[in-house]
Amino acid sequence: MAEIHFTSHLRTLVTDGPLSAEGATVGEALAKVLAAQPHVRGYVLDDRGALRKHVCIFADGERLAHEGALGRRIGPDTKIYVMQALSGG
């Protein structure tokens, strides 16, 4: 089962994981987790539902380019990490 891990900087809001990740893409998996924990949504996604500028996602060991991150396809062994990007300091 694919997994999602969250940065420990959000530990007061959400367990740092892993949570199970269901869906064909990073975006779908994240949406399911955020549907169950809606208070986390605004920390990861902006008002438009886009990935926040200084949040970065790793999947299958690769740091995903921001623009395509939510559309990235995932497999049964994918580990997704939602991290705070150092571009934000």
Choice between 36 and 50, CB closer to another protein: 50
Contact residue for another protein among 3, 5, 10, 79 (CB under 8 A):
10
The answer to whether residue 58 forms part of the interface with another protein (CB under 8 A) is: no
Q: Which of 45, 42, 40, 39 is nearest to 57 (CA)?
A: 45
Query: What number of other Cβ atoms are within 10 A of residue 42's Cβ?
Result: 12
Dist. CA 4–CA 33, nearest whole Å = 9
Which range, of 21-29, 51-59, 60-68, 69-77, touches another protein by CB under 8 A? 51-59
Contact residue for another protein among 48, 61, 67, 75 (CB under 8 A):
48
Q: 59 to each of 62, 69, 83, how far by Cα in Å?
A: 5, 9, 11
The answer to whether residue 47 forms part of the interface with another protein (CB under 8 A) is: yes
Q: What is the distance of C-alpha 60 from the center of its chain?
A: 13
The residue ranges that bind another protein (CB under 8 A) are 9-10, 39, 42-44, 46-50, 52, 54-55, 84-85, 88-89
